Amino acid sequence: MSRDLRLSLTLLTMSLAAFFAAILLGPTPLSPVRALAGLFGQGPSGDNTVIQLIRAPRAVAAFLTGGSLALAGAALQGLLRNPLAEPGVLGVTASSIFGATLVIYFGVASAGPAVPIAAVAGALAATALISVAAIRLRSVATLILFGIGLSSFIGALMSLLLSLAPTPFTLMEMVNWTFGSVANRSWQDIALAAPFMAAGGALVLLARRGYTALTLGEDAAAAAGLDLQKHRLLTVLGTGLLTGASVSLAGGIGFVGIVAPHIVRPLTGHDPGASLAPSFLAGGLLLTLADIAIRLLPGTAELRLGVLAALIGAPVFVLISLRRRGGL
C-alpha cells in the first residue's frame, strides 16, 4: 500500500469517526446505540428527527464545505506554487457571497432555495470572467492581481448593499451570511450544492498531474508537454465551482483552503498533485471537528463557524507567511 493511499485511508477513517461524534454530541447527547438507531430510522421518532434531519445533514454539510474549500486551496497552491493561495484569492468567494446577500437585500430569500442558487450564480459569473482572463493572460501573477482587483470591487459593492439595507433585520441576515454556518442545513441544501462540488472536484483532479509538473517551473512544465493555458483554465473553473458551492451551502468560511493543505503537504512529500485527495479529507475533517466544538461551547448564542475558522486559520496564515519570508 502506497504512502498516499495510507494517508487517505487514515483521514477517511478519522472523518467517519468525526461524523459519528457529530451525531452523538450536541445540546442533548445521545448514546451510541440511540444514535445508530436514529441514523437508520429505528429509534424513537424524536431521535430519528434529531439525527436524520438536524445532526446528520449538518455534519455532512460541514464535511463537504471544508473538503471543497481545502481541495480548491490545494489546487490553487499547486497552480500558483504559493502555499498562501486560497479560494478567495481570485475573488470567487466574494462574488458568491455578494450573490447571496443580493437576494437577501431584495427580500426574496424565502423563495425556496433562492440564496444558495444566487450564491452559485455569483461564483459562476466570477468564474466565467476569470476563465476568460486565464486564457488571455500569460502571467499567473497578473491573474492574481486581476482576482484581487475583482475581490476589492465586489467588496465595495457588498459595503454599498450593507449601508443601504432597508431594515435592521435584512442587515442582520446579510451580515450573518458572511460569517458562515452549517446550522439548520437540510438535505435539500446539500443536494443543490453537491453537483457543483462534484463537477469542480472532477476538473481539479483532471489537472492533478500538471501541479506536479509545475514544481519544476512553468518553462520546464511546458517543455514536458503541459498545456499551461488549458491547465490554468481547468483549475480556475474547478476552484470556482468548488468555492461557489461551498459558499452556497455554508456562507463565508475562510482559511480552510490554507490550513488543510499545509497540514497534508509534508505527509505527501510536498507533491501538490498527490496532496489533492488528502487535502479534501483533511479539510472536511477539520471543519466537522470545528462545528462539533461550536455546539459544545457554553453560552446561549452559538459561535459562527466562519468566525472560529478565522480564529484558528489566521494565526496559521501568519506563521506560514513568516516562514516563507524567512522570519522564523
Digit-coded pLDDT (tens) for 108-134: 766 567 877 888 888 888 888 887 777
Band of the pLDDT at 292, cuts 50, 70, 90?
very high
The H-assigned helical ranges of 137-255 are 140-163, 168-179, 187-206, 208-214, 218-223, 228-250
CATH superfamily of 68-324: ABC transporter involved in vitamin B12 uptake, BtuC (1.10.3470.10)
What residues does each domain of the chain span? 1-56, 68-324
Percent of the chain exceeding pLDDT 70 equals: 95
Q: Kindly tell me if the per-residue pLDDT of 147 is higher than 90.
A: no
Mean predicted confidence (pLDDT) in 289-316: 83
- Give the number of other CB atoms < 10 A from CB of residue 29: 10
Q: Kindly tell me if the per-residue pLDDT of 58 is higher than 90.
A: yes
Phi, psi at residue 110, to the nearest 5°? -85, -5
